[in-house]
């Protein structure tokens, strides 16, 4: 209880201190108090994971509504740890970015919002009754809106922030209704009461609660179809706020889905699991397609967040389906893959948003077509951004590789399922996930190459300077964590396996991280892998081993898949050392001679002649033109009754707006116009309407 109370109280204390200082002192104060608050949150999460025992504390009792409860369990502890890690890096980076707003906007106001937002997130994750949960959720939503709209005098900021708030409120209302349905059945609002009646909920109530909560919390995640607000909000927010949105707040939507579907509604029917699986796959592919074509670096990262949350949702859908079909070990593996990817996304996406903020501050733009050549101007930022790019594009040995690899391998285990329809759904999701992974690599090669390599395509890019040291420290911490989780996945999988066992099926850690450093494996199996180095590090590293694999067959002597980013790192380092040694050896024999560059008869290459981000994205735009569907507006220009030219202006309609929001809006307008036609001012017709309504009401009362 002490750790939870400290995690709630420290950010509030920081907010009070921020109100007591001048604007200029608010930023260094935020760095200190924010770091301490974040560290407390991180440690609370880690202690909760290590303890593994749920705890509940009653703060008081409200009339009618019942007790106000908070507590910890391994699930909420994981989300707290991820939240603390991201906020810690952002707090340390604050002095490197926020001073640009001095004299323009209130830095004290930002600091207060930053601290109270952290406290509200902690309360969301530790709430153990519906009233506390949704009160904290509303506080968090309003504060997120205020921070997104921080630069409120900048054109377009309010237009981007308001849809985020509106979409979030619609989703929250749907989730509240879904959970209240369960509360009526349970006869209480505490999480314990809801979990107690999970297996006796009527089928109709279960389905209604599932659909309302999944799509309600899905709006916060950016799942299809509630995704169109994210790129606008992320692009308008200050970069450190965008990092919070992408690295922390989207996790709360996944937390809501996971808490509801694995605790209050478990076990879900097979159909529900397939809905989650399919929606996740569609979300992922749409997100990465738009990430491949957007020129703005921050909007591109926002589309990528949609893609990554789609991948996490695919893992959850696979886990729910495996669990419903009585494959607990496969379900545990899918849960581990989803949670691993969620933690990874929090780290590398926060890193990338900080990098984008550094580029925006130092080069004056986030438009990739106006960047280029920054690797020479901002080498540290370039290196950290590259670490984030390699992580998110799933290149080993960084963390994104292990989680995406586990996710794909989990989908491939659908071969053990019986029904053809279920296998078809998994095959559909697997194809979209594989395509998403390939397009993600393309998108981030484009982002890094067009922003940091080549020639500068604007004066600001040519005159850019390295980011401030505090901003680099924030990026460096996140980059180091990305590498650490990538080269030690067995540690992560073992911990996540214990967390999954606390709310769902067990067996993930035994299936994915065999105990090569201890006894318990069949002798023939262990000796086979010992010969290829599976026991390297035994007696030195406190881990079960450094090989990820899925053991199958009688006695667990077969292997479905295996990988070891840890050993891969050693191989990569050896190859790099060999290449460097070869270069030194050849350099002594044939010294390097510098010559003037030559390009097609020219000795000077102009930036205008190089590839741009728009040109790089053209093949994707052409191949998937049915998704983007650009419309061309024509405008004739006439002089003296003669047409002198035709102007063509291409416009792109977001796919969700075209197939979901647009038709709904048109239908709403038609209904509104029809209702408006009833207001004609004729009293006799109004009396007739009232008489008809009265007759219908009496008829219904008689029938019932």
CB atoms < 10 A from the CB of 36, how many?
17
Give the burial string for 110-133 (b: 16+ CB within 10 Å, else e): bbbbbbbbbbbbbbbbbbbbbbbb
Q: What is the pLDDT of residue 634?
A: 61
Nearest CA among 226, 133, 218 for reference residue 179: 133
More confident of the two residues 424 and 652: 424
Chain segment 124-181, per-residue pLDDT in tens:
999 998 989 999 999 999 999 999 999 888 888 888 889 899 999 999 999 999 999 9
CB 353 within 8 A of CB 92: no
pLDDT digits (tens, 9 = 90+) for 271-300: 999 999 999 999 999 999 999 988 889 999
Between residues 506 and 244, which one has the greater pLDDT?
244
Has residue 585 got a pLDDT over 90?
no
d(CA 234, CA 156): 12
pLDDT at residue 8 greater than cutoff 80: yes
Tell me: pLDDT of 513 over 60. yes
Give residue 630's pLDDT band: very low, low, confident or very high (50, 70, 90). Answer: low
Residue 361 domain-assigned (yes or no): no
- pLDDT value at residue 430: 92
**CB of 629 closer than 8 Å to CB of 656:** no
Q: 561: Cβ–Cβ under 8 A, 6 or more apart, which residues?
A: 409, 412, 549, 550
Q: How many CA atoms lie within 13 A of 652 on its CB side?
A: 11
Contact 365, 460 (CB under 8 A): yes
Q: In the prediction, which pLDDT does 277 show?
A: 96
Report the share of the chain in percent with pLDDT over 70.
88
Q: How many helices (H) and strands (E) does the chain have?
A: 29, 6
pLDDT band at 225 (very low <50, low <70, confident <90, very high): confident
Q: What is the CA radius of gyration of the chain?
A: 28
How far CA 528 is from CA of 521, 522, 524, 559, 644, in Å, comes to: 11, 10, 6, 12, 79
- H/E stretch holding 70 reads strand 66-72
What is the per-residue pLDDT for 463?
A: 86
80 CB-side CA count, 13 A: 31
Cα 625 to the center of its chain, rounded Å:
26
pLDDT at 543 over 70: no
pLDDT above 90 (res 314): yes
Q: Which of 214, 245, 19 is nearest to 110 (CA)?
A: 19
CA 245 to chain centre: 8
What is the predicted pLDDT for the residue at 62?
A: 64
pLDDT higher than 70, residue 637? no
- Give CA torsion, residues 490, 494, 500, 501, to 10 deg: 150
481 or 563: which leads in pLDDT: 481
| C-beta of residue 241 within 8 angstroms of C-beta of residue 136 | no
Q: Shortest CA distance to 546 belongs to which of 525, 527, 562?
A: 562
Q: Cα dihedral sign for 566, 572, 576, 582?
A: positive
Mean pLDDT for the chain?
A: 86
Q: What is the pLDDT of residue 539?
A: 67
- Measure the CA–CA gap between 399 and 387, rounded to whole angstroms: 10
191 belongs to a structural domain:
no
Cα distance between residue 467 and residue 359, in whole Å? 8
Q: Which domain holds residue 664?
A: 629-703
DSSP-derived 3-state class of residue 507: coil
Q: What integer pLDDT is reported at residue 640 of this predicted model? A: 67
Asked if residues 345 and 308 have their Cβ atoms less than 8 Å apart, the reply is: yes
318 assigned to some structural domain: no
Q: 3-class secondary structure for 52-64?
A: CCCEEEEEEEECC
**Confidence at 65, pLDDT banded by 50, 70, 90:** low
Return the structure tokens found at 657. Answer: 């707006």
Q: Please give the angle made by the CA atoms of 662, 668 and 670, to the nearest 5 degrees.
A: 105
CA 188 remoteness from chain centre:
32
- Total length of the chain: 704
Q: Picking from 20-34, 192-206, 638-652, 674-688, which range would have the lowest pLDDT averaged per residue?
A: 638-652
For residue 619, tell me if it sits in a domain.
no
Of the ranges 463-477, 628-642, 668-682, which one carries the lowest mean pLDDT score? 628-642
Residue 635 — pLDDT band, cuts 50, 70, 90? Answer: low
Cα angle, residue 662 at apex, residues 657 and 668 outer, rounded to 5°:
140
Q: Would residue 696 count as lying in a domain?
A: yes
Q: What is the DSSP string of 389-422?
A: HHHHTT-TTSHHHHHHHHHHHHHHGGGG---HHH
Number of domains in the chain: 1
Tell which residue, 461, 249, 445, has the closest CA to residue 350. Answer: 249
* Confidence category of residue 604, pLDDT binned at 50, 70, 90: low
Average pLDDT over residues 538-550: 74
Residue 89 to residue 38: CA distance in whole angstroms = 9
Please check whether residue 467 is in contact with residue 381, taking contact to mean a CB–CB distance below 8 angstroms: yes
Instruction: Quick: pLDDT tens for 35-48.
Output: 999 999 999 999 99
Q: Are 507 and 329 in contact (CB under 8 A)?
A: yes
The pLDDT-based confidence of 545 (bands split at 50, 70, 90) is confident
User: Which range (81-95, 211-225, 411-425, 665-679) has the least confidence?
Assistant: 665-679
Q: What angle do CA 51, 54, 59 make, to 5 degrees?
A: 120
In a domain, 647, yes or no: yes
Q: Is residue 698 part of a domain?
A: yes
Top mean pLDDT of 299-313, 584-598, 645-659 is at 299-313
Res. 616 pLDDT band, cuts 50 70 90: confident
Which carries the bigger pLDDT value, residue 672 or residue 310? 310
Q: Has residue 285 been placed in a domain? A: no
Distance CA 411, CA 393 (A): 19
In 3D space, the residue among 488, 468, 604 whose CA is nearest the CA of residue 545 turns out to be 488
């Amino acid at each position: 209880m002490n750790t939870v109370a400290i995690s709630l109280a420290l950010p509030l204390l920081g907010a009070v201190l921020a109100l007591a200082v001048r604007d200029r002192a608010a930023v260094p104060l935020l760095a200190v108090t924010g770091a301490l608050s974040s560290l407390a949150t991180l440690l609370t999460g880690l202690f909760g994971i290590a303890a593994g025992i749920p705890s509940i504390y009653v703060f008081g009792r409200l009339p009618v509504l019942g007790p106000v409860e908070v507590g910890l369990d391994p699930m909420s502890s994981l989300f707290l740890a991820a939240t603390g890690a991201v906020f810690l890096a952002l707090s340390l980076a604050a002095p490197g970015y926020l001073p640009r707003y001095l004299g323009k906007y209130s830095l004290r106001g930002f600091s207060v919002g930053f601290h109270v937002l952290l406290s509200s997130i902690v309360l969301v994750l530790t709430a153990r009754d519906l009233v506390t949960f949704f009160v904290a959720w509303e506080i968090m939503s309003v504060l997120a809106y205020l921070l997104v709209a921080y630069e409120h005098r900048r054109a377009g900021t309010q237009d981007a922030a308001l849809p985020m708030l509106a979409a979030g409120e619609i989703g929250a209302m749907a989730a509240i209704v879904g959970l209240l349905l369960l509360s009526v059945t349970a006869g209480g609002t505490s999480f314990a009461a809801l979990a107690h009646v999970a297996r006796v909920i009527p089928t109709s109530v279960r389905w209604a609660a599932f659909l309302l909560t999944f799509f309600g919390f899905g709006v916060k995640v950016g799942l299809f179809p509630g995704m169109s607000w994210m790129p606008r909000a992320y692009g308008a927010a200050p970069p450190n706020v965008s990092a919070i949105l992408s690295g922390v707040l989207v996790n709360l939507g996944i937390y809501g889905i996971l808490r509801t579907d694995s605790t209050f509604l478990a076990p879900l029917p097979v159909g529900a699991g397939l809905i989650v699986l399919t929606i996740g796959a569609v979300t992922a592919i749409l997100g990465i397609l738009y990430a491949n074509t957007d020129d703005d670096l921050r909007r591109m990262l926002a589309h990528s967040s949609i893609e990554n949350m789609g991948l996490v949702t695919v893992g959850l859908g696979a886990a729910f389906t495996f669990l419903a079909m009585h494959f607990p070990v496969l379900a545990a593996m899918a849960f581990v893959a989803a949670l691993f990817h969620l933690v990874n996304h929090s780290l590398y996406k926060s890193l990338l948003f900080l990098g984008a903020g550094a580029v925006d501050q130092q080069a004056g733009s986030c438009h990739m077509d106006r960047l280029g050549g920054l690797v020479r101007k901002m080498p540290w930022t370039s290196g950290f951004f590259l670490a984030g790019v390699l992580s998110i594009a799933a290149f080993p040995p960084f963390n994104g590789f292990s989680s995406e690899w586990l996710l794909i391998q989990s989908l491939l285990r659908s071969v053990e399922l019986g029904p053809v329809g279920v296998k078809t759904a998994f095959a559909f999701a697997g194809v979209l996930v594989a395509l998403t992974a390939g397009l993600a690599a393309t998108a981030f090669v484009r982002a890094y190459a067009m922003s940091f390599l080549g020639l500068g395509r604007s004066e600001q890019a040519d005159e850019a300077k390295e980011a401030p040291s505090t901003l680099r420290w924030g990026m460096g911490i996140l980059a180091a964590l990305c590498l650490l989780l990538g080269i030690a996945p067995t540690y992560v999988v073992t911990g996540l396996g214990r967390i999954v066992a606390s709310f769902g099926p067990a067996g993930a850690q035994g299936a994915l991280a065999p105990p090569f450093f201890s006894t318990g494996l069949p002798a023939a199996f262990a000796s086979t892998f010992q010969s290829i180095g599976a026991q390297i590090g035994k007696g030195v590293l406190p881990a079960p081993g450094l090989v990820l694999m899925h053991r199958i067959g009688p006695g667990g002597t077969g292997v479905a898949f295996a990988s070891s980013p840890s050993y891969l790192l050693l191989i990569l380092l050896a190859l790099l050392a060999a290449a460097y040694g070869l270069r030194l050896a050849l350099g002594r024999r044939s010294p390097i001679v510098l010559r003037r560059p030559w390009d097609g008869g020219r000795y000077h290459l102009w930036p205008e002649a190089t590839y741009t981000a728009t040109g790089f994205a053209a093949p994707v735009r052409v191949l998937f033109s049915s998704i983007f569907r650009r419309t061309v507006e024509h405008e004739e220009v006439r002089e003296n009754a003669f047409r002198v030219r035709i102007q063509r202006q291409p416009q792109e309609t977001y796919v969700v707006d075209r197939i979901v929001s647009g038709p709904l809006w048109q239908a709403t307008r038609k209904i509104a116009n029809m209702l408006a036609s009833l207001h004609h001012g004729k009293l006799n017709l109004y009396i007739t309407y009232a008489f008809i309504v009265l007759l219908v009401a009496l008829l219904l009362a008689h029938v019932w």
